[in-house]
Amino acid sequence: MKVEIDDGILVDVDTAVPLGIVLTELITNAVKYAFPAPRSGTILVRAHRSQPGRVELAVQDDGVGIPSELLPYIFNLFMRAERGLHPTRGGIGVGLTLVRYLVGLHGGTVQAHSEGPGKGSEFTVSLPVPTSPAPPADAESDNSEERPARLLVVDDSVEAAQSINLLLRRWGYDVRVVYDGAAALEVAQTWQPDIAILDIGMPGMNGYEVARHLRAAPVGKEIVLVALTGYGSEEDRRQAHEAGFDYHLLKPVDPSDLRELLILVTAPTP
């Protein structure tokens, strides 16, 4: 991996959402698709002033590339595409959705470019350069007596669960993450979350079964159950309702929609 950085670059960064997460996600994505066995590849990371008042971060690889028909959807949450790799290497789009969200929090943009399969790809982040010192952080959340809402995230995809985890923690929630139904029931019993966000299509005990078990237990009667799933037909929604879910969100979910729902659910009752 090669790194090129101009001297003296300064970016106005929200320390609660470090840009290190953005770079980590982009480099991880590049490693996944620049080095498909048995070949090796090259990753180039650049940072420079692209125009007055802006700085550009770019992560480029010479890997398998991105088909042109996928480029408009590359930042969609939970989008799947093999891009010429063995399926066990997983999907794309979970970390990239997080990248787009975090960059947006900084007033920036992110774009993907590729000449097509076998021709590598480049992800470019454009961020504003501060023109004056950043104001001190306000103390709007300095209410130590109010416990943050507890959210349990359940998804057999580690990448998907951890991406949601990062968003929820950024919003100030207390989060636990598990990857199967049995673990979800155990954590719900001992930790007593306020909200459980459940995937449906999990191996072993699926989300419907987890919801039914929770609703049958004393600890689960007051938990708000949110299905976050790729199953979106009317029949899927009916089954979710019958299993005890309060809300049904379809993947890919817009982070702002998820946040609005959580604000609604956790708002104090008048």
State residue 75's pLDDT score: 82
Structure confidence at residue 270 (pLDDT): 53
The count of other CB atoms within 10 Å of the CB of residue 83 is 19
Specify if 139 maps to a domain. Answer: no
Q: What is the CA radius of gyration of the chain?
A: 21
Rounded alpha-carbon distances, angstroms, from residue 167 to 68, 94, 133, 144: 29, 12, 27, 21
pTM for this entry: 0.62
The answer as to whether 32 is a domain residue is yes
How confident is residue 15, by pLDDT bands cut at 50, 70 and 90?
very low
Domain membership flag for residue 64: yes
Does residue 88 fall inside a structural domain?
yes
For Cα atoms 102, 105, 106, give the angle at the middle one, nearest 5 degrees: 100
Let me know if residue 133 belongs to a domain.
no
The amino acid occupying position 68 is: S
Structural domain for 12, as ranges: 2-128
Same domain for 13 and 90?
yes
pLDDT in tens, 216-253: 999 999 999 999 998 889 999 999 999 999 999 988 77
pLDDT band at 170 (very low <50, low <70, confident <90, very high): confident
Average pLDDT rounded to a whole number, residues 133-160: 69
Q: Is residue 144 part of a domain?
A: no
Side chain identity at 26, as an amino acid letter? L
pLDDT at res. 181: 96
Token pair 């991996």 in the structure block, residue? 1
195, part of any domain: yes
CATH of the domain at 88: 3.30.565.10
| H-state helical runs in 110-254 | 158-170, 181-191, 207-216, 234-243
Q: Is 80 in the same domain as 162? A: no
Which segment of 63-67, 92-96, 109-113, 160-164 scores lowest on mean pLDDT? 92-96
The count of structural domains within the chain is 2
Distance separating alpha carbons of residues 105 and 16, to the nearest angstrom? 11
Q: How does pLDDT run across 45-87, given as a tens digit for each residue?
A: 988 887 777 889 899 998 889 899 888 888 875 444 433 333 3
Q: Please report whether residue 21 resides in a domain.
A: yes
Q: Which CATH number belongs to the domain containing residue 245 in this structure? A: 3.40.50.2300
Indicate if 123 and 6 belong to the same structural domain.
yes
